[in-house]
Copies of this chain bind each other. A is one copy, B any other.
């Protein structure tokens, strides 16, 4: 049976009884979803426009609206193929545009990379100069001590035939490429930041130390679950699954390189260096290393130290001898992305007490006290990335990103001024802060019923937005024209409480650990694209982090990615990254005796 996926018109052969979501995965088609096909999240919504299809099951009846089912909408994870089908996928806008422009390197950063290219003229051999070709090439280089990469030796004869000039590329003292003619102008490197949700790739001109382009793509492992734990579980089911997760990242890198090639006309063989950061699970999956033990105490990684492999070994579309450097991890849930954050924030040099929070799909926290660094990871979960939130979505077109309730009126801002279709992290935090302000939400996280709100004497315009939905009480943020309202449910509020409670408890325990107090904090630095978009007042209102003066909360953008760039551009930073990763103290929260108590307390909103 042939399944046609629109709008790409990709076709995939399937057997009767095959699951539609899995068939899409086989065809390498990305259908959003956060529960990995478990029928919980309701996000793998597709529209079947032709072909016989079974009756919707109970899950679909619960998670889809009646009108949607009428129009042919179904959950891909619930559909089992009976016939040829045409399936229309929802418009899938990666969260790229937002994350792009957020890579900031420290002002005084000086590139000092490993890669150099030389256009040289090689002496001819003669009976008086019987030196071999390799030796004559090496002697034509400006310094001494170079070693020829053994895989280049078979190329030399043809390069020197009727020709005495060539371009030599070196990585340190190692010759990694020999090219015809003068290609010294073309010298690139890529810093990759593997986020659980988004893979951000930064292309640099290594000659100029200049950023050429940033491409952000949805992490294609996403189809196997939104959070690291789902992916770990998926990877442990079979060696094929582990290998699949590895290939997804590799393909994502290679797709990105294709994009760079297309956009900038560069030759992939002129990409000579790369760095990679990611959380510990992403680092493991990138190398095809089982992350099984990261899902259970004592959360032991297989490896932490930096890994250097060639592009050839990793099957990446770069110069085969390009070195790909994966920065070191710190612990099971504090990965090389946090080492990148350390570099970019220059935290070890900060005076006094400072806090860095990276609110990605995981919530990692760094606390510095005059150069001493403590870190922990919190099981914040992907709520702020839209997962586990009924109408949650990433910060892309149609997402409510700002909410303001004034005089009983709900004002929203939607990305690209579209009709709202969901809510993203910053909108969610705004909404909750505003709902707390109006009083329809209390500090315990309980959403008023219509009756309770009426009793409190709240404005009718607000009261009318409270209603009982399929999944309990909900608050209508935006009325949809065809009944597709955007709402915040009681369950959504609980998810936010769990997430922010985890972060807050982590901060508290770290402060306790070094005997410091929140009041002593000099500043809070928000890393990650998300930090750039949340309104500090709202974050303070819901108690995402300790109370501070607003201007002491600073956003630094994608610091993990910036750190990867620094390690790409400077061998000193690469060394420093390892040294600092060794120096960081890791606090394990999950088994900390005070964790449960602090977590419970932190779940409430500040009164």
Contact = CB atoms under 8 A, between A and B. Distances in A.
A263 interface: no
Interface stretch (A39-47, A286-294, A542-550): A286-294
B156 A289 contact: yes
Interface string A106-131: 00000000000000000001110111
A67 interface: no
A298 B148 CA distance: 22
Contacts of A313: 150-151
A246 to B, nearest CB: 9
Contacts of A125: 293, 298, 300
Given A150-B309, A156-B289, A287-B154, A302 B132 contact: yes
A377 to B, nearest CB: 12
Interface in A568-607: 586, 588, 591
A130 B131 CA distance: 54
A451 interface: no
**What class of interface size applies to chain A in its complex with B?**
35 or more
A189 B490 CA distance: 68
Nearest to A126: B298
B588 A302 contact: no
A288 B157 CA distance: 11
A133 interface: yes
A316 to B, nearest CB: 14
Contacts of A301: 132-133
Contact of A298 (B130, B158, B303, B305): B130
Interface in A125-145: 125-127, 129-135
A395 interface: no
A234 to B, nearest CB: 15
Interface in A487-521: none
B299 A134 contact: no
A153 B586 contact: no
B153 A302 contact: yes
Interface centre among A127, A156, A158, A309 (most CB of B within 10 A): A127
Interface string A274-301: 0000000000000111101100011111
Contact of A150 (B126, B290, B307): B307
A309 B131 CA distance: 23
Contacts of A151: 309, 313
A578 to B, nearest CB: 13
Contact of A157 (B126, B298, B302): B302
Contacts of A307: 150, 153
A478 interface: no
A346 interface: no
Contact of A154 (B288, B304, B305): B288
Interface string A299-325: 111111101110001000000000000
B287 A130 contact: no
Given A151-B313, A303-B132, A158 B290 contact: yes
B130 A299 contact: yes
Contacts of A302: 132-134, 153, 156-157
A153 B300 contact: no
A403 interface: no
Nearest to A299: B130
Contacts of A588: 127, 130
Contacts of A287: 150, 153-154
Interface string A325-355: 0000101100000000000000000000000
A44 to B, nearest CB: 30
Contacts of A133: 300-303
A310 to B, nearest CB: 10
A156 B131 CA distance: 46
A317 to B, nearest CB: 20
Nearest to A291: B157
A287 B332 CA distance: 43
Name which of A130, A133, A329 has the most chain B CB atoms within 10 A of its CB: A130
Chain B CB within 10 A, most for which of A151, A301, A309, A588 = A301
Nearest to A306: B150
A305 B134 contact: yes
A158 B307 CA distance: 20
Nearest to A135: B304
Nearest to A290: B157
Nearest to A131: B300
Q: Which of A293, A298, A300 has the most CB of B within 10 A?
A: A300
A244 to B, nearest CB: 14
Contacts of A134: 302-305
Contact of A591 (B127, B290, B300): B127
A441 B205 CA distance: 77
B157 A293 contact: yes
A496 to B, nearest CB: 29
Shortest 3 CB-CB contacts between residues of A and residues of B = A157-B290, A125-B300, A134-B303
13 contacts: A126-B298, A127-B298, A132-B303, A132-B305, A132-B329, A134-B303, A148-B303, A150-B307, A150-B308, A153-B289, A156-B303, A157-B290, A157-B292
Given A134-B305, A150-B308, 5 more contacts: A127-B588, A148-B305, A154-B287, A154-B289, A157-B302
